[in-house]
Amino acid sequence: MKIIFLITVLFNFSLNSNQALAKNFIYCSEGSPSAFNPQIVTDGTSVNATANTIYNRLVEFDAGTTNIVPALATSWDISKNKLVYTFTLRKGVQFQTTKYFTPSRDMNATDVIFSIDRQRIKSHPYHAVSGGNYEYFDGMEMGKIIKNVVAIDPYKVQITLSKPEAPFLANMAMSFMSILSAEYADKLAKENKKQEIDQLPVGTGAFIYQSYLKDNSIKFLANEKYWGKKGNIEKLIFAITPDANVRYQKLKIGECQFVTEPSPADIADMKKNSSLTVLEAPGLNIGYLAFNVSKKPFDNINVRKAINHALNKESYINAIYMGSATVAKNPIPPTIWSYNESVKDYEYSVDLAKSFLKKAGLPNGFESEIWTLPVSRPYNPNGKKMGELMQADLAKVGIKIKLQTFDWPTYLKKSKTGEHQMIQFGWTGDNGDPDNFLNTLLGCGAIAAGSNYSHWCDKMFNKLVTDAKATPDVAKRTALYRTAQKIFKEQAPWVTLAHSTSYRVMSKNIKGYKIDPLGQDIFTKVIVE
């Protein structure tokens, strides 16, 4: 008995010591960042640990929206021919002072040029550092879009494009366009330690990197000299916790104040807990089933329509997404501008499905395959189970489905070469621009790039989305995209399944956090009460 008593005393003694310190913010994140430079990472985990804490961009997305607001640039001019963007830089912005670097000057045009040219120019002294892959920069085709970057004066940067590109400004607000210090880069180059630029970061952001223990924690301190508005966090700690259930338990007993990506099954329980705040917002994503239209019988529009009518999407929302999603009718989520409300979805009807099959000359159905998503993604948390529901739905109209799946790398490889017939896929938007869905996933050019999984190339649709890309006028673009969505629905290269809801859960004393439509976690303005 005595021993038990002693142990209990010992435990309580050190438990209490945790709670005495205020203004610390512990964030239960789900994984380790792959590097500390947003230029060379693409995953949300790494972006949260770098772009949203340490760094800033010339322009940024306003908190909680995809609207573009000034950041390190206070204003910008676009030339009449839509090719030249001139950014005026903010004066008096200091790079962070860390154990490994003390800046001697303010941020200026040299830093901007360094940050862009490292990714853009193959012969740049920093290009090949850490492998030389700028996945995001290349994925958004920034290398092709930007023709030249020059400084007009220390606080004016002029970027010339090779063709008019409406989503350019949105791209400039993305994580990989973060501004790094050229002075720090020069220092490292002299010391022959170039690769440290990607591991020991120096930025202009609200938090200063302090330490990182892989798979365990990342620690930041507030940047007292931050140029913008910020909350009151003094110590920001990422507690890396890969298991969603464990994250929830940690939140419950106060080991962290904020959890990312809770498991949908726990949401109801979390909402009941009076010491927690649950925020939800429609995610910037789409889950879909793509038909490979280059294969029979999916080249036949009536077959595609029949399957659109045969699937009971409403039933998937509860069974697969635990209610945390909405049925999708367009390929872009309703939070993106130009979303076409007037598009009518294919209603669930076995009779209509059968009649379309008859029109297609397949009254008795056919046999086919559906590839089910092997990983859990917000846009489709359980591909296999959804596949089983689809199998049952399609059996009712006489289509016999074999379910097939591979591990994620194989799935990607085989689907990019078009080996599938029907395949579950999805997409999470990068910059809130409709082009990032409609052109990236359904444009003719995306077939060769491997992100158009239905291999669908419709001349009219493609003309609309390419024209919209070259038009900076938002009203005109909206009209073009709305028509494009109509054509998409009529041609039915996909079954649009769902837009998932994204959740963030935090302790009641956390204020000022806005859930981000791009799915990132930004704590700059958070207040710990």
Partner 1 sequence: MKFFLRKIIDLIPTLLGISFICFILIRLIPGDPVLLMIGERGVDPARYLEMKKSLGLDLPLIKQFYLFVQNIFHGNLGTSIVSKNAVWNEFIMRFPATVELGMFALFFATLIGIPLGIIAALKRNSFYDYFLMGTSLIGYSMPIFWWGLILILVFSVKLGLTPVSGRIDLLFDIPTFSGMMLIDTLQPSVIHSEGFAPFISCFKHLLLPATALGTIPLAVIARMTRSSMLEVLGEDYIRTARAKGLSKTQIVYIHALRNALVPIITTLALLFGSIITGAILTETIFSWPGIGRWLVQSITARDYPVIQGGVLIISFMIILTNILVDIIYYFLNPKMRQG
Closest CA to 55 of 260, 238, 212, 198: 198
- 146: contact with partner 1 by CB under 8 A: no
Please state, in angstroms and rounded to a whole number, the distance separating the CA atoms of residues 54 and 235: 13
Q: Which of 23, 82, 194, 219 binds partner 1 (CB under 8 A)?
A: 219
Question: Which of 428, 524 has the CB closer to partner 1?
Answer: 428
Please state, in angstroms and rounded to a whole number, the distance separating the CA atoms of residues 375 and 311: 22
- 23: contact with partner 1 by CB under 8 A: no
Q: Which stretch binds partner 1 (CB under 8 A): 3-11, 99-107, 274-282, 466-474?
A: 3-11
- Distances in whole angstroms, Cα of residue 330 to Cα of each of 35, 236, 287, 488: 35, 39, 11, 8
For 227-282, the three-class secondary structure string (H helix, E strand, C coil) is CCCCCCCCEEEEEECCCHHHHHHHHHCCCCCEEECCCHHHHHHHHHCCCEEEEEEE
How many residues in the shown chain lie near partner 1 by CB under 8 A? 66
Q: For residue 350, what is the enclosing H or E element?
A: helix 350-359
- 216: contact with partner 1 by CB under 8 A: yes
Question: Which of 413, 476 has the CB closer to partner 1?
Answer: 413
Q: Which of 109, 290, 446, 505 binds partner 1 (CB under 8 A)?
A: 446
- 148: contact with partner 1 by CB under 8 A: no
- 131: contact with partner 1 by CB under 8 A: yes
Question: Which of 214, 459 has the CB closer to partner 1?
Answer: 214
Q: Which stretch binds partner 1 (CB under 8 A): 83-91, 146-154, 244-252, 343-351?
A: 244-252
Q: For residue 438, what is the enclosing H or E element?
A: helix 435-442
Beta bridge partners of 228: none
- 35: contact with partner 1 by CB under 8 A: yes
* Measured CA angle at 386 (ends 381, 389), to 5 deg: 155
Residue 137 in tokens: 């920069």
Q: Which of 95, 137, 316, 427 binds partner 1 (CB under 8 A)?
A: 427
Question: Which of 128, 150 has the CB closer to partner 1?
Answer: 128
Q: Which of 149, 157, 172, 237 binds partner 1 (CB under 8 A)?
A: 237
- 135: contact with partner 1 by CB under 8 A: yes
Residue 182 in tokens: 């050229």
- Taking the CA atoms of residue 409, residue 415, residue 421 and residue 426 in that order, the dihedral angle to the nearest 10 degrees is 80
Closest CA to 236 of 225, 221, 246: 221
- 162: contact with partner 1 by CB under 8 A: no
Interacting residue ranges for partner 1, rule: CB under 8 A: 7-8, 10-11, 13-15, 17-18, 21, 24, 26, 32, 34-35, 42, 130-133, 135, 138-139, 195, 198, 211, 213-217, 219, 235, 237, 239-243, 245-246, 249-250, 252-253, 255, 406-410, 412-414, 416, 425-428, 440, 446, 448-452
